Amino acid sequence: MYAVNMDDSNQKNNKQPWILYAWILLIILAAILFIVAFPHMREAFRESGMAELIQSHVEAKETENLFATANINFPIPVNSPDNIEFISVSVPVQNLTRHTVVEALLQGPPQEGLIRGAVTYIPANTTLLGITLSYEIAYVDFSREFLEPTVWESTGYKLRHIQLLKTLESNFRVRDAIILVEGAPL
Mean confidence (pLDDT) of the chain: 82
User: What's residue 8's pLDDT?
Assistant: 55
User: What's residue 150's pLDDT?
Assistant: 73
- Is residue 56 in a domain? no
Is residue 41 located within the same domain as residue 85? no
The predicted-structure confidence for 50-105, as pLDDT tens digits, reads as follows 888 888 888 777 665 556 788 898 888 877 656 788 888 888 887 788 888 999 99
Beta strands in the chain (DSSP E): 68-78, 80-93, 128-134, 137-142, 176-181, 184-185
The predicted-structure confidence for 157-178, as pLDDT tens digits, reads as follows 888 889 999 999 998 899 999 9
Question: What is the count of structural domains for the chain?
Answer: 2
- pTM for this entry: 0.61
- Look at 151 and 24; give whichever has higher pLDDT: 24
- Is residue 22 in a domain? yes
Is residue 98 located within the same domain as residue 145? yes
* 32: pLDDT strictly greater than 90: yes
Domain that holds residue 26: 6-48
User: What's residue 81's pLDDT?
Assistant: 59
Burial of 171 (0-12, 13-18, 19+ CB in 10 A): buried
- Is residue 40 in a domain? yes
* 26: pLDDT strictly greater than 90: yes
- Is residue 169 in a domain? yes
Task: Fill in the amino acid letter for 139.
Answer: Y
